[in-house]
């Protein structure tokens, strides 16, 4: 199927010139429609879609600048070209400031007109593509808002509907243990498995709730001393360190701009992760520090000498429910690092890791260095 001809609206109060231009451009593959009246041209523009408008600059009813401005209100993707005589080039340049793409001089030379039309049509295609892209962005934004509403409903369901049966299972398991003190060893083993599975389910629910909230919570930025934040997290993790020999290597950290509550979750996840996977080491070596990143960003790292991981699975580390170790070896739900990535991404940063099996792992996150950004 042949491509549709490019449609050009030609407006010139000199009828002979207008007709001559219409016929010439038709011979060169354009679909043209000509008017000697600006108001008649605008009326047609409301009924028919055109790619280009060629309008004379000096017309008695409405000059070309006013016509072009009115035409763009009706059809924003329309591309305008002003036709003018030698003596009004300055005015034609002013017309370009008002929305015209280019101008052509009378008397017309076909060798000058055709390149201008070709360039104008390229601009027209870009405008149409941009308008289409903007519409898609609006549509996708609406879809995302609808998805967020569904996520809110999902989180509400987790909070109220799923918690109740988990509590019931836990309660009835406790009642069963009280009502049947003479359970066999196998029965007590099964009961313990029920309790452990139920506890794990409850933790999954809580972690999913945190993940959902972190995706939607408003970010309240303030200046944060990362040294103080990590010290607070380490103090809170004392129960995980009882009876263990841990060497902490704490290097000075910078101050950053971010949400204190959300970034504390990042620090807590990374510290607890390092403690968990270095559990088999004596002593465990855990380092907290910063390193050089891309221009305009701060990079923070948490390194441990734990069990590490195979780098070919690195992309799975930050996925929801993604685990690289057996649950019986290391507890967890597989949501902690997904939370880290989501929170850092919402701050405009990056997350990544490197590691080696039985050697250790290093987790990195970056934040924009907003404290060095020039004030506007």
- pLDDT tens-digit series, residues 16-40: 889 989 999 998 889 999 999 999 9
Buried b (16+ CB within 10 A) or exposed e, 140-174: eeeeeeeeeeeeeeebeebeeebbeebeebbeeee
Could you tell me whether strands 284-291 and 360-368 are parallel, antiparallel, or unpaired per DSSP bridges?
Answer: unpaired
List pLDDT tens digits, range 320-349: 555 554 554 445 456 778 888 888 998 999
CA–CA gap between residue 367 and residue 351 (Å, rounded): 10
Instruction: For residues 325 and 321, give the distance between their C-alpha atoms in angstroms, rounded to a whole number.
Output: 12
Judged by average pLDDT, the poorest of 87-91, 188-192, 217-221, 238-242 is 87-91
Of 127, 40, 25, 119, the closest CA to residue 75 belongs to 127
Q: Which helix (H) or strand (E) holds 281?
A: none
Instruction: Measure the CA–CA gap between 64 and 57, rounded to whole angstroms.
Output: 4
pTM, two decimal places? 0.53
pLDDT tens, residue by residue, 143-182: 887 776 776 666 666 666 777 787 778 888 787 777 767 7
Residue 286: count of CB within 10 angstroms of its CB: 24
3-state secondary structure of 200: helix
The dihedrals phi and psi of 203, each to the nearest 5 degrees, come to: -70, -35
Measured distance CA(290)–CA(97) in Å, rounded: 50
Nearest to 148 by CA among 138, 160, 156: 156
Q: Given CA atoms 74, 79, 85, 90 in this order, what sign does their dihedral have?
A: positive
Higher per-residue pLDDT: 145 or 55: 55
CB 72 within 8 A of CB 79: no
Using CA atoms, how far apart are residues 161 and 188, in angstroms rounded to an integer? 29
Residue 273 falls in which region: left (phi positive, over 0), alpha (psi -120 to 50) or beta: alpha
> How is residue 99 annotated by DSSP?
T
Residue 274's pLDDT is what?
A: 92
Structural domains in the chain, sorted by start: 7-108 (3.40.50.2300), 139-216 (1.10.287), 222-372 (3.30.565.10)
The strands making up 360-368's β-sheet, listed across from edge to edge, are: 246-250, 284-291, 297-304, 360-368, 351-356
**Separation CA 85–CA 63 (nearest Å):** 14
Please, which residues bridge with residue 223 across strands? Answer: 257
The reported pLDDT for the residue numbered 4 is 58
Reported as a single tens digit per residue, the pLDDT across 245-290 is 999 999 999 999 999 988 998 999 899 889 988 988 989 999 999 9
Write out the two tokens for 45. 């523009």
The dihedral through the CA atoms of 276, 282, 288, 292 has a sign that is negative
């Amino acid at each position: 199927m042949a491509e549709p001809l490019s449609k050009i609206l030609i407006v010139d109060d000199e009828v002979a010139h207008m007709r001559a231009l219409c016929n010439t451009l038709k011979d060169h593959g354009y679909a043209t429609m000509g008017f000697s009246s600006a108001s008649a041209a605008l009326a047609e523009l409301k009924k028919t879609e055109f790619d280009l408008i060629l309008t004379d600059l000096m017309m008695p009813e409405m000059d070309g600048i006013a016509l072009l401005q009115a035409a763009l209100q009706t059809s924003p993707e329309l591309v305008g070209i002003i036709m003018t005589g030698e003596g009004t080039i300055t005015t034609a340049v002013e017309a370009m400031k008002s929305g015209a793409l280019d101008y052509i001089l009378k008397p017309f030379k076909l060798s000058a007109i055709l390149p201008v039309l070709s360039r104008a049509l390229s601009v027209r295609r870009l405008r149409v593509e941009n308008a289409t892209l903007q519409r898609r962005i609006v549509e996708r934004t609406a879809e995302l808002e609808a998805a967020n509403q569904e996520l809110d409903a999902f989180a509400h369901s987790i909070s109220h509907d799923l918690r109740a049966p988990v509590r019931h299972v836990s309660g009835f398991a406790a009642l069963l243990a009280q009502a049947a003190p003479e359970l066999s060893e196998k029965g007590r083993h099964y009961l313990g498995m029920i309790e452990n599975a139920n506890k794990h389910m409850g933790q999954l629910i809580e972690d999913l709730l945190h993940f959902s909230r972190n995706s939607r919570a408003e970010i309240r930025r303030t200046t944060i001393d990362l040294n103080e934040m990590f010290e607070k997290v380490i103090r809170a993790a004392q129960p995980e360190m009882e009876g263990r020999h841990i060497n902490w290597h704490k290097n000075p950290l910078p101050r950053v701009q971010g949400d204190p509550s959300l970034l504390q979750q990042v620090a807590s996840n990374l510290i607890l992760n390092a403690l968990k996977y270095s559990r088999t080491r004596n002593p465990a070596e855990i380092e907290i520090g910063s390193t050089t990143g891309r221009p305009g960003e701060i990079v923070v790292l948490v390194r441990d000498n734990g069990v590490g991981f195979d780098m070919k699975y690195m992309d799975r580390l930050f996925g929801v429910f993604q685990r690289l170790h057996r649950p019986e070896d290391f507890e967890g739900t597989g949501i902690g690092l997904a939370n880290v990535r989501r929170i850092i991404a919402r701050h405009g940063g990056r997350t990544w890791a490197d590691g080696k099996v039985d050697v250790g792992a290093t987790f990195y996150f970056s934040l924009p260095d907003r404290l060095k950004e020039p004030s506007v």
